[in-house]
Structure 1
C-alpha cells in the first residue's frame, strides 16, 4: 500500500499536535522527496549511516527524532550537512523529523515509552516554572541505586553513569530523555529520590550531591529509541505502510 506524502505528513503533524510546541528546529517535513510513500525507515538521528541504509532498503521516507536545521547552527549546506541533504535529494527520499512533540506525546512520546519499558508508574508531568518537560512517578518497589542501575542496563542495553546524591533506597523518580541534565533542579523541587536523563554535564555531580538526588545518565540515544519506534508502529497499523526501525548503536 502507498499513500501521498502530504497525507502522511498531515496525519503525523496532527497526531503529535506540533503547533503547540516552540522548538529548537522545524517539526514535520524537512526534506521533500517523491510524492508517494510506501516504505518508511525510522531511526533516532538522521545520520549519514541511517540515510545510506534507507537508500539500500529503497525507502521512500525517513522518520527521525533528531533531524536538521537547529537554531544557531550554520545555514550553508556544506560539508557533512550538505552530503546528507544531497544523498536524500538524489535518492528522492523525504525526511520527517519530530523533536519535542515526540518527547512529550502522552502515548508515543520518549518519556512515556521509557516509563513503559522500565515499568515505572507515571504520576504526572515535571512541568513547572523552572522546567517544562519530562515525567515523574514511582518504582513498583524500592530499589538500591545499584539495583536501579542494573535495571537500566538490562532494559536499555548499556550501563548508566550514576552520580550518587544520597544513600537511601530509591522509590520516587523523575525522568526526561535526551540531553536534559538541567532537569535535575526541577527533580529536586519535586522531592524525588532519583533523576534519569540521557546525558550529564560537569555540574551534574555537584548538584546531585548538594540537592540529595541520585542522577543517572542512561544515554541520549538509548533513552530516545522508544518514541520513534512506537510512532512507526502506529503508522504501519493505521496507514498500512511498510515501516522498519533501524537502530544504529550509540553509547552517548
Structure 2
C-alpha cells in the first residue's frame, strides 16, 4: 500500500481530527513510498528504531512519537540520532496519541478493560472522546485482590493506595499518565481509580477522598492499544506486522 493510502487508512480508523492533542497524529517522519512491513511499539525510542531496522521494516507505528507541544525545537542530541536513524534507513514513522487512547474497541482504555474484566459504561468527563472512562468490575474484588489481578495480567506490581474496606464495584481508569483524573472520579463517588502513573499529591487525594487508587505503569497500561491496532492491520489489510515490546519500568 502506498504511504498516503496507509495514512488515510489509519486516520479512518482512529479519527484524529475529532480530538485535540499535544502532538501531530499520523505521519511524522517520511520514509519509503510503499508500506509493507510494519513494526509497532509503545514509544519511538532508539531501541525500537534499532529493532525495526534489524527486522527490515519500512514503517514504525507507535503511540508515543515526536514533536510534542512545549518541547525544544532544535534537532540535536537524542532527537537528532533518532531521526537520523529513521531517515538513513528510509523508515516511515507514524504516531497516534490520544486517538489511540480513546478508540472504543482497539484503544488503550478499551483494551485494558478487556484484560482486567472491566465493563466500560461512559466517559468520566462530560464530553465526547473523554480520555478517562468509568464503569464497573464485572466481578467485585477487594483492593488487594484487584491489585493481584493487575500484577498477574500486566506482569507489573502496581502502586496501591487501599483506603476502603468494601469490595470495589465501580471504577474509573485512564491509561498512561492520567493520575490527575482521580479527583473527578472521587467527586462522582466512584470506588476506585486506575491509571499508569502517580504524583505526590495523588496518594493524598486517595486517602482524603476515600477512593482506592492503583498505578500500574505508564508503559504497562499502554502496550495493548498499539498491539491491537497492528493485529487489525495484519488481519484485515494483509500487512506484515510485528509488535516489539521495549520494556520500561515507568
TM-score, normalising length: structure 1: 0.96
1:137-176 to structure 2, matched below 5 A, reads: 137-176=135-174
User: Which of 242, 245, 248 matches 2:246?
Assistant: 248
Query: Contact between 2:19 and 2:99, CA under 8 Å: does it hold in 1?
Result: yes
Q: CA deviation at 1:166?
A: 2.3
Query: Contact between 2:102 and 2:130, CA under 8 Å: does it hold in 1?
Result: no
Q: CA deviation at 1:171?
A: 1.1
Deviates further, 14-23 or 44-53: 14-23
Deviates further, 218-227 or 160-169: 160-169
Aligned residue-pair number: 249
What's the RMSD between the two structures over aligned residues? Answer: 1.2
Is 1:135 matched with 2:133? yes
Structure 2 partner of 1:230: 228
Q: CA deviation at 1:90?
A: 0.1
5+ residue gaps, structure 1: none
Q: CA deviation at 1:157?
A: 0.5
Query: 1:96 is paired with a residue of what secondary structure?
Result: strand
Q: CA deviation at 1:167?
A: 2.3
Q: CA deviation at 1:105?
A: 0.4
Structure 1 partner of 2:72: 74
Aligned partners of 1:133, 1:54: CA distance in 2, in Å?
30
Aligned partners of 1:121, 1:101: CA distance in 2, in Å?
20
Is 1:11 matched with 2:3? no
User: Which of 119, 123, 126 matches 2:124?
Assistant: 126
5+ residue gaps, structure 2: none
TM-score, normalising length: structure 2: 0.97
Aligned partners of 2:114, 2:132: CA distance in 1, in Å?
14
Large movers: runs of 4+ above 4 Å? none
Query: 2:176 is paired with a residue of what secondary structure?
Result: coil
Deviates further, 235-244 or 33-42: 235-244
